[in-house]
Structure 1
Amino acid sequence: MSPRSLEQTLDGVHALLLDVDDTIVDTQEAMVVAGTHAAAAVWPHRTEEHRAMAQRYYDDPERWFPRYASGDVPFEVMRAGRLAEVAAAFGVEVPGEAHRSYEEAYAPAFRSAQRLFPDVPDLLDAAEGERLPVALLTNSALAPTRVKLEALELVERFDVVVTTDTLGFGKPDPRVYLEACRLLGAEPGRVVCIGDNLEWDVLGAEAAGLRAVWLDRDGRGTSEPVASVRGLDELTAVLDRRFGPPGTDR
């Protein structure tokens, strides 16, 4: 089966549903920068390894984050599990008060490291100009999501933000996509979900009855028959072609 073209995927769309992490914000770099500061606070004697520790925390080889997203473990347990895995991988102990020290160093560094991908503003402007509602659907919790939006001055930009706190679990459970559509007041078949995670943002969304576009910034490619883009500017271009420039009577 051939994938839909972008034009087909966006035809008759009533709303956009955007992922957050590594879709509109560079969460990987923010987490690695913040994690480097946090690792230095917990294991100051391992100077040369702090960034590698932070990268491993982000990579999450034991898949603690998907377990949190599915509702199997609480947020705090997920964070502690990832920290313990890093310690084991680098042959260090988790000292007493490590979790508090890690979080106290991590939080301010994470906030200051937030960066919006440069192709996001034009997409939001194009959607706003055509009165297409844009919602956020993320497997992160509400608190860190708000930190990102506040740091980027985007809190007022999105009326609908669905996090794992909303229903107690996240993507790819079909109910979270449908809840986002309900809050948007749009039929699932008229909503396009856009994100960098093929399983969560595309296959899960399509299984729930939405349309979807995979954001493949690194050009990895897939054998799945899905619509894909290398950047959000490709979506913006299609919206501009489809709708044309805003009229003067708007």
Structure 2
Amino acid sequence: MSGRSLVETLHGVRALVLDVDDTIVDTREAMVVAGTHAAASVWPHRTGEHRAMAQRYYDDPQGWFPRYASGDVAFEVMRAGRLSEVAAAFGVEVPEGAHRSYEEAYAPAFRGAQRLFPDVPDLLAAAEGEGLPIALLTNSAHAPTRVKLEALDLVGRFDVVVTTDTLGFGKPDPRVYLEACRLLDVEPHGAVCLGDNLEWDVLGAEAAGLRAVWLDREGRGTSEAVASVRGLDELTQALGRRFGPPVTDR
């Protein structure tokens, strides 16, 4: 825990807004595992390079995913752009039908690779014990988000799920945080947003009037004065205590 006080940030909290990818679900590894299978289906002759291709697809050096999250490009365009970038980086052609082949190989492998971080169940139990509603707020689309929740037997576990399909764009647009709060029926200052992306899950949330906690699993640190935790167990312990009304109400 560093930066702003976690106790101060959580005092009187009335709802949680959780990121999904690389916050509660190990999306990085799932995408690399699935992408390895998919790259092998498109470029079988590049033996030994498929995982590196998948890692580059995940890293997205041209920023296709942020463009999708902002509503600038469609989901399919984003995926095709990332695949083309990988091809260019490894000096291979994108064969005819490659996008379909990639997706057909990727989808079942991605579903099978879903893993919940081990510190998530206790956090959800603590929130439920405190009577705190939970919204998922993700820059992913509805379909892949549904896949993750189904694979992890989490469908129906959350009060609200807001994806980029909900409004046509995602974080850090202030409107998506406010939509999550509206659906939770809580004022923004009564909700705390938690996620691994400093810009999207913390600074964007605070700009929209929410409180925020940065999940810094790798201990990177930041010059920003934000509340941060190395693991969700720290938040779980804090939620195990009951808080009074929000400080702003006094």
Question: Identical aligned pairs, as a percentage?
Answer: 86
Q: Please tell me whether residue 194 in structure 1 is matched to residue 191 in structure 2.
A: no
Match runs of 1:43-58 below 5 Å: 43-58=43-58
What secondary structure sits across from 1:17 in the alignment? strand
Q: Which residue of 2 aligns with 1:59?
A: 59
Instruction: Tell me by how many angstroms 1:3 deviates.
Output: 3.7
Amino acid at match of 1:193: C
1:228 aligns with 228
Q: Distance in 2 between matches of 1:239 and 1:39?
A: 43
- Paired with 1:83 and 1:111, the residues of 2 have a C-alpha distance of 19
Query: Do 2:192 and 2:212's aligned partners in 1 also have CA atoms closer than 8 Å?
Result: yes
Residue 19 of structure 1 deviates from its aligned partner by 0.0
| Deviations 1:200-245, CA, capped at 9 Å, x for gaps | 00000000000000000000010000000000000001111346xx
Distance 2:153 2:22 in 1: 17
Residue 206 of structure 1 is matched in structure 2 by 206
The secondary structure found in structure 1 opposite 2:240 is: helix
| RMSD over equivalenced CA pairs, Å | 0.9
Residue 150 of structure 1 and its aligned partner are, at CA, apart by 0.2
After the TM superposition, which segments of 4 or more aligned residues of structure 1 sit over 2 Å from their partners?
Answer: none
User: Which amino acid counterpart does residue 115 of structure 1 have in structure 2?
Assistant: R
Q: Deviations over 1:102-158 (max 9, x none)?
A: 000000000000000000000000000111001100000000000000000001101
Residue 35 (structure 1) aligned with residue 35 (structure 2): yes
TM-score, normalization: structure 2? 0.96
State the Cα distance separating 1:90 from its structure 2 match: 0.1
**Residue 89 of structure 1: how far off its partner (Å):** 0.1
Q: Which runs of 5+ in 2 are unaligned?
A: 244-250
Corresponding residue of 2:115:
115
Q: TM-score, normalised by structure 1?
A: 0.96
Mapped contact 2:130–2:242 kept (Cα < 8 A): no
Specify the code of the residue in structure 1 equivalent to 2:94.
V
Cα distance in 2 for partners of 1:135, 1:154 equals 13
Specify the alignment match of 2:95 in structure 1.
95
Match of 1:143 in 2: 143
Distance 1:87 1:4 in 2: 43
Q: CA deviation at 1:47?
A: 1.0
Secondary structure of 2:238 counterpart: helix
Alpha-carbon displacement from aligned partner over 1:66-107 (angstroms, at most 9, x marks no partner): 000000000000000000000000000000000000000000
Aligned residues: 242
Tell me the secondary structure at the aligned position of residue 217 of structure 2.
Answer: coil
Quote the residue 1:133 is aligned against: 133
Matching residue of 1:77:
77
The amino acid of 1:231's aligned partner reads G
SS in 2 for 1:157: coil
Deviations 1:44-72 (A, max 9, x none): 00011000000000000000000000000
